[in-house]
């Protein structure tokens, strides 16, 4: 025969389980179910409410028990304190769709999970409707490769400082090249994810056409094949640590190479667009020039960049940019 404390525990757990499943708890029905007084059920509900109000160390959804007059009972209400808000999850979904980094199947799965985990139930349909057309017409990258596990494996190798071995085929390469690399960072740009690393098998560099491979080298992750996370660890002095944020400021179109300083005149309409594209850009002077038959202020800008990607950007600007050095 169960003791009073055991009966109360089973009763509380039963009510709690039904609340968590979305049921509405009517005090009279519960009193009849467990053959106790209404006051006992009220105390049980208060115990559950007090338990749910304790701080959640893991963050996320805070649950509380509220009385719903329309339904004549108590129900669970979820307060989204730390989880993403409706505007935030909609923004992230839109950014994901615009990135076109994942296959169609991966994108659908990730969006479904994001909405299910982060959006209140009453808002799920609205968010799905707002992205449905773009999701339906989503075009996956041409490589069609599933690479999220590779992304994670590389991330663990970076954290544990393990050397990577893999085969790689660049955009212009006709054959695979074997690489042994110290992984330094994972970055995203445009439609692709990239790994930044330092080549270790430098004895083979005499066979390579690109001497800048001695600098941080960038690899498109979807082009990495036969990846092996080795048991060999590497060390890098703290003063030589790779600073992803500083590298990001100076890299254009993910073209690797040596650090360069460039100086140019900008004759366009939006200085803000230049500063967004080149985070290291500094206006060092201005001059008055005739541009498109009108006299206007022209900015003289200096910036630090890695590699030759900046040259591609210069070409895209046409006569709005004049390279000085």
What tokens does 181 get? 């690399």
Question: What is the length of the chain?
Answer: 325
Residue 143 falls within a domain, yes or no? no
Helix or strand holding residue 158 (H, E): helix 148-160
Question: Which DSSP symbol is given to 147?
Answer: -
Give me the DSSP letters along 47-76: HHHHHHTS--TT-SEEEEEEEETTTTEEEE
264 and 235 co-located in one domain: no
13 and 57 co-located in one domain: yes
Predicted local distance difference test score (pLDDT) of residue 2: 63
Torsion, CA 223, CA 163, CA 158, CA 248, rounded to 10: -60
**How far is residue 105 from each of residues 109, 138, 149, measured CA to CA in Å?**
6, 10, 15
Do residues 322 and 264 touch, judged by C-beta distance below 8 A? yes
State which of 106, 136, 166 marks the end of a domain: 136
Residue 252 falls within a domain, yes or no? no
What tokens does 37 get? 């007084």
Which residue positions in the chain have pLDDT lower than 50? 203-205, 207-209, 211-214
| pTM of the predicted structure, to 2 decimals | 0.67
Q: How many CB atoms lie within 10 A of CB 92?
A: 16
d(CA 67, CA 75): 6
Residues with Cβ < 8 Å from 112, sequence gap 6 or more?
Answer: none
65 and 8 co-located in one domain: yes
Residues with Cβ < 8 Å from 276, sequence gap 6 or more?
Answer: none
Distance, first Cα to last Cα, the chain: 90
Residue 268 falls within a domain, yes or no? yes
Predicted local distance difference test score (pLDDT) of residue 163: 95
List the domain range (segments joined by +) for residue 22. 4-80
Do residues 193 and 222 touch, judged by C-beta distance below 8 A? yes
- What's the domain count of the chain? 4
156 and 123 co-located in one domain: no
Predicted local distance difference test score (pLDDT) of residue 85: 75
CATH number, domain of 65, equals 1.10.10.10
213 and 279 co-located in one domain: no
d(CA 220, CA 173): 13
d(CA 170, CA 15): 60
156 and 224 co-located in one domain: yes
Residue 253 falls within a domain, yes or no? no
Residues with Cβ < 8 Å from 185, sequence gap 6 or more?
Answer: 158, 195, 196, 242, 244, 247
d(CA 275, CA 204): 39
CATH number, domain of 234, equals 2.30.30
273 and 310 co-located in one domain: yes
Residue 254 falls within a domain, yes or no? no
d(CA 40, CA 44): 6
219 and 181 co-located in one domain: yes
State which of 80, 108, 127 marks the end of a domain: 80
Predicted local distance difference test score (pLDDT) of residue 93: 92
Residues with Cβ < 8 Å from 258, sequence gap 6 or more?
Answer: 212, 215, 306, 307
State which of 186, 211, 242 marks the end of a domain: 242
Residue 190 falls within a domain, yes or no? yes
131 and 177 co-located in one domain: no
212 and 296 co-located in one domain: no
Predicted local distance difference test score (pLDDT) of residue 325: 82
Tell me the H-state helices in 251-307: 271-277
Residue 106 falls within a domain, yes or no? yes
């Amino acid at each position: 025969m169960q003791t009073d404390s055991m009966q109360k525990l089973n009763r509380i757990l039963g009510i709690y389980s039904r609340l968590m499943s979305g049921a509405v708890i009517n005090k009279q029905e519960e009193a009849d179910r467990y053959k106790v007084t209404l006051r006992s059920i009220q105390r049980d509900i208060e115990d559950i409410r007090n338990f749910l109000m304790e701080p959640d160390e893991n963050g996320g959804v805070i649950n509380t028990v509220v009385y719903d007059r329309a339904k004549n009972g108590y129900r669970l209400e979820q307060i989204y304190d730390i989880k993403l808000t409706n505007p935030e999850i909609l923004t992230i979904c839109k950014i994901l769709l615009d990135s076109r980094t994942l296959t169609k199947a991966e994108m659908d799965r990730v969006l479904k999970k994001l909405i299910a985990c982060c959006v209140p139930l009453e808002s799920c349909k609205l968010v799905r409707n707002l992205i449905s057309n773009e999701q339906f017409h989503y075009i996956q990258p041409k490589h069609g490769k599933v690479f999220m596990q590779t992304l994670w494996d590389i991330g663990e190798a970076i954290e544990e400082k393990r050397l990577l071995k893999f085969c790689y085929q660049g955009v212009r390469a006709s054959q695979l090249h074997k690489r042994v690399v110290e992984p330094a960072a994972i970055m995203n740009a445009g439609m692709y994810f990239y790994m930044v690393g330092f080549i270790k098998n430098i004895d083979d560099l005499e066979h390579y056409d690109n001497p800048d491979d001695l600098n941080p080298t960038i690899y498109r992750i979807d082009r990495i094949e036969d990846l092996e996370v080795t048991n060999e660890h590497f060390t890098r002095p703290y003063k030589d640590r790779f600073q992803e944020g500083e590298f990001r400021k100076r890299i254009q179109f993910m073209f690797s190479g040596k650090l360069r300083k460039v100086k140019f005149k900008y004759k366009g309409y939006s200085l803000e667009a230049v500063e967004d594209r080149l985070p290291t850009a500094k206006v060092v002077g201005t001059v008055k020039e005739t541009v498109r038959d009108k006299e206007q202020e022209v900015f003289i800008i200096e910036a630090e960049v890695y590699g030759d990607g900046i040259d591609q950007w210069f070409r895209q600007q046409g006569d709005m940019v004049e390279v000085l050095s």
